[in-house]
Structure 1
Amino acid sequence: MRIHHILLTTILSLFLASCASTGTPTAPPADAATTIDSYQIGVDDIVQVSVWRNPELGITVPVRPDGKITVPLVGDVDAGGRAPAEVAADIQARLAAYVRDPQVAVILTDLRSHEYLSRIRVTGAVKQPVSIPYRQGMTVLDAVLAAGGVTEFAAADRTDLYRRNDNGTTQQYPVRLDRILGNGDLTTNFPVAPGDVITVPERIL
């Protein structure tokens, strides 16, 4: 019985180790995908203000040098140095005097004030290595397609996404780009965050 128990324990351990080695790569933390929500708006950033069921109140404008934007009915609103959610809450509170139960969304469509800090870079075995502006909702696949896709020499299964953490360290996240492009498996088609670097290595011949 004891030998039988040891044998079962050994088999189970080997099985678990095998699962761990072939499992899905670790995804970036959930809050990393929403980095943009805490981004502080700067001068020249382009913001889109949308008011649910009131499209005539929506605008897409750059933030002026004084850090303000002008919103219909509300007038000037401070945007510079504030997160999009803060600006949306401010506009929503002030619109309540004119619109019943307003629902406001503020979206950054172009991060110009921190252009280089917010860019996404794709390097390695892609047809055209690029440095592109971050766009809300952008994923790994969007960035790779902007680089023209991978070359015939790419080792797409060894693609990595690199992200700088708040403490200054860089975290590496494996991306199964071969499965994304070949099988439509979007498990590792992670949302990107401002400053991310995606590297596609070449195959070892």
Structure 2
Amino acid sequence: MTKHPRIVSSVLTLSTVALCLSAPVSAAGKDPDDKKASQSAPALVDDYRLAPGDKLRIEVYRDTQMSQSVQIRPDGKITLPLLGDLEATGRTPIELRDVIAKQLKEYMTNPVVTVIVVEATPAVAYVTGEVNHPGAVTIQSQLTVLQALAIAGGLKDFANAKNIRILRRSALGVQTIAFNYKDAIRGSTPVYLRPGDTIVVPD
């Protein structure tokens, strides 16, 4: 028996509609969960604190001379045309972006600035003074001062456990944070290290 062409066409059309309704596709053909993951990832970047050795790309919209690839120097600064030296260490990429944009307003109207971390240095802190194994300790995710001291082999017998200091470089200079080892082992609020921090254990 020969099927009528109009009937065949109608069957094909209905089948196509059924397939479209049964398999919805999100925008750009991506799973909605992938979109959620991509939206949550930048939060980690936004919280990242810049450190000496980090390689950055500074993009100024429609200004090729101001757009620069730079590396943060050991003194924590970068140098840009017109602006000179800028403190970068201790700031987030967004904070540095805002500082650059604010200063550029003296030279251009409504500058649009982007700061990209091209390569981050390994996150380390330093332990010095009256510990058994002074030196650098790697910060994996989060590291407390107490944990860093344990990695450094613990305190020596004559260490001044109540007057330990953490030296932290920020955009405002070097900050000193007091740390009492005896309070820490009793369960006081933990102090978390940032990349570049130096723990000084006096005698």
Q: TM-score range by the shorter chain?
A: 0.3 to 0.5
RCO comparison, higher one (Cα < 8 Å, 6+):
1
What TM-score do the two structures reach when normalised by structure 1?
A: 0.42
Which has the higher Rg, Structure 1 or Structure 2? 2
